């Protein structure tokens, strides 16, 4: 660059009022800074207007002499006070806005849902305990110990059908506070051959919930038998080894595996589609004042061409015709593929219990904060997002993996728990308890099996409408070598 070019460049920045532009850019170039990013950052931080010169006076200044470049360094030592003020905008909102800005347009509902729930810094599940009466919602294990006990019965029965292997992986996806696993281990602790065979794996992405689970399962770390300094974690409830993983892929292969997924699939991100000639996908964009809004894509999206097309191939024309909206969960398909492949190779089975239906899902996405429904787009990260589980999609996804796989159900939670003997269990518990405990047992029982389908007792009318018995479904995926698992005969 010749001297005249430098003059032109200096006059250009003077006309833009950038009178504190770094001298390094004009004279030394990038050699004065080893990183282009740090260079840009320092240039932005040092740029300021000369407060002693108004815009009108600046415009009347004569051109600078060619041999002189004037530098105002006052801003380097006296930065504006407002430049470092903390922002009141939540970090997750800023992160979502940055994704939208980077994309140059809206993001899918699935992308929004995944960030809101599991963002490593600000996701809903990541930094706190959201379960139980003191949290945002209650799950079946929180309602009564009998739920975990019945799942324990199912697990032991499947283990016996597998030939009582000496080593088996017991995996729980999304264990919450660890209540279900704690009740399962406590209720089966007398069956030493079973508990001794267990290698427990908790698939949990939240460090905060991992700590809660560690405490709930009464864990302790003990030294390994070899000379190394390695330790393993043991649950004092059963003496079983236990470890944590962020994803199912991290759980070791090679052992027969029993997988429990209770209220896990409903938190997987869904894509939402609205019926139109162009196959529009519902998306999310951010407007003024950090407010998020739904918009429709003007043309088919990759998700509509791939996932929606695949899901509709598994449905009848009558089923599709009756829906104006369709939700599709690709993550559920991918997870089911992983589960089915693992079971096909290593043996075992999976139990999935969740709320949903055996068919296409319409518009079911919801947000819950402090046990109340709230706007899905309000204050992202402060409420749980979940959607109905498409059990038909799970079945098709599992069956396309291998001929060694068989899928059973879904049946209602009421049928599942009833066939495993929950009515006998509650009768036994009622024999030795206070009246207050008895009332809690009856209430918990009806919340688990209610909705008018439980054939065991005649429950109080005011309790049956709030039950989970028919809204929650149970499905099993097993290796065909084990036969049909109970209670799906």
Q: Tell me the pTM.
A: 0.78
8 Å CB contact between 473 and 353: yes
Q: What is the pLDDT of residue 230?
A: 77
Question: How far is Cα 138 from Cα 126, in angstroms, rounded to an integer?
Answer: 18
pLDDT confidence band for 288 (50 / 70 / 90): confident
What is Dmax (Cα atoms) for the chain? 101
Q: Is the pLDDT of residue 303 over 90?
A: yes
Q: What is the pLDDT of residue 360?
A: 95
Helix/strand/coil for 262: strand
Question: How far is Cα 360 from Cα 321, in angstroms, rounded to an integer?
Answer: 11
Average pLDDT rounded to a whole number, residues 75-98? 63
Percent of the chain with pLDDT over 90: 59
Average pLDDT rounded to a whole number, residues 389-394? 98
Cβ partners under 8 Å of residue 122, min gap 6:
90, 91, 92, 95, 381
Of 97-111, 123-137, 346-360, least confident by mean pLDDT is: 123-137
The domains of the chain, with CATH numbers, are: 3-84 (no CATH), 140-268+332-360+381-482 (3.40.50.150)
Higher pLDDT, 227 or 309: 309
Q: Cα Rg for the chain, rounded, in angstroms?
A: 30
Q: Is the pLDDT of residue 79 over 50?
A: no
- Distance between first and last Cα of the chain: 84
pLDDT confidence band for 192 (50 / 70 / 90): very high
Q: Is the pLDDT of residue 475 over 90?
A: yes
Transcribe 276-342 into DSSP letters: -TT-PBEEEEE-GGG-EEEEE-SS--HHIIIIIHHHHHTS-HHHHHT-SEEEE-HHHHHHHHHHHHH
The overall average pLDDT reported for the chain is 80
Higher pLDDT, 133 or 70: 133
């Amino acid at each position: 660059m010749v001297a005249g070019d430098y003059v032109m460049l200096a006059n250009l920045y003077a006309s833009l009022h950038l009178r504190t532009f770094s001298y390094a850019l004009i004279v030394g170039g990038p050699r004065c800074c080893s990183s282009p990013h740090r260079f840009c950052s320092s240039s932005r931080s040092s740029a300021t207007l000369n407060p002693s010169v108004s815009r009108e006076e600046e415009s009347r200044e004569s051109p600078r002499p060619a041999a002189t470049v004037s530098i105002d360094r006052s801003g380097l030592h006296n930065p504006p006070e407002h430049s470092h003020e903390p922002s009141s905008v939540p970090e997750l909102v800023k992160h979502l806005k940055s994704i939208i800005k980077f994309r140059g347009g809206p993001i899918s509902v699935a992308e929004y849902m995944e960030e809101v729930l599991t963002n490593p810094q600000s996701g809903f599940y990541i930094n706190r305990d959201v379960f139980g009466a003191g949290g945002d919602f209650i799950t079946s294990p929180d309602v009564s110990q009998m739920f975990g006990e019945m799942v324990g019965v199912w697990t032991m029965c499947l283990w016996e059908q597998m030939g009582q292997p000496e080593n088996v992986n017991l995996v729980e996806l999304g264990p919450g506070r660890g209540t279900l696993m704690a009740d399962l281990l406590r209720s089966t602790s007398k069956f030493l051959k079973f508990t001794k065979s267990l290698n427990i794996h908790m698939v949990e992405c939240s460090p905060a919930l991992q700590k809660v689970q560690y405490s709930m399962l009464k864990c302790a770390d003990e030294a390994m038998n070899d000379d190394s300094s390695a330790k393993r974690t043991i649950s004092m409830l059963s003496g079983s080894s236990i470890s944590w993983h962020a994803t199912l892929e991290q759980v070791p292969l090679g052992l027969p595996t029993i997988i429990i997924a209770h209220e896990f699939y409903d938190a997987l991100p869904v894509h939402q589609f609205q019926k139109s000639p162009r196959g529009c996908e519902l998306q999310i964009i951010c407007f003024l004042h950090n407010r998020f809004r739904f918009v429709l894509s003007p043309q088919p999206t990759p998700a509509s061409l791939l996932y929606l097309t695949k899901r509709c191939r598994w449905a009848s024309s009558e089923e599709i015709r009756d829906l104006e909206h369709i939700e599709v969960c690709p993550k559920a398909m991918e997870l089911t593929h992983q589960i089915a492949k693992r079971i096909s190779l290593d043996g075992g089975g999976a139990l999935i219990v969740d709320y949903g239906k055996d068919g296409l899902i319409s518009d079911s996405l919801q947000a819950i904060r402090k046990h109340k429904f709230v706007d899905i787009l309000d204050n992202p990260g402060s409420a749980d997002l979940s959607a109905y589980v498409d059990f038909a999609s799970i079945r098709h996804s599992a069956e396309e993996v291998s001929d060694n796989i068989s899928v059973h159900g879904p049946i209602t939670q009421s049928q599942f728990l009833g066939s495993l003997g929950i009515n006998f269990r509650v009768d036994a518990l009622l024999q030795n308890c206070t009246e207050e405990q008895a009332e809690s047992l009856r209430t918990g029982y009806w919340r688990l099996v209610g909705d008018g389908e439980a054939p065991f007792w005649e429950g109080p009318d005011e309790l049956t409408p709030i039950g989970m018995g028919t809204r929650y479904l149970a499905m099993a995926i097993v290796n065909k070598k084990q036969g049909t698992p109970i209670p799906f005969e």
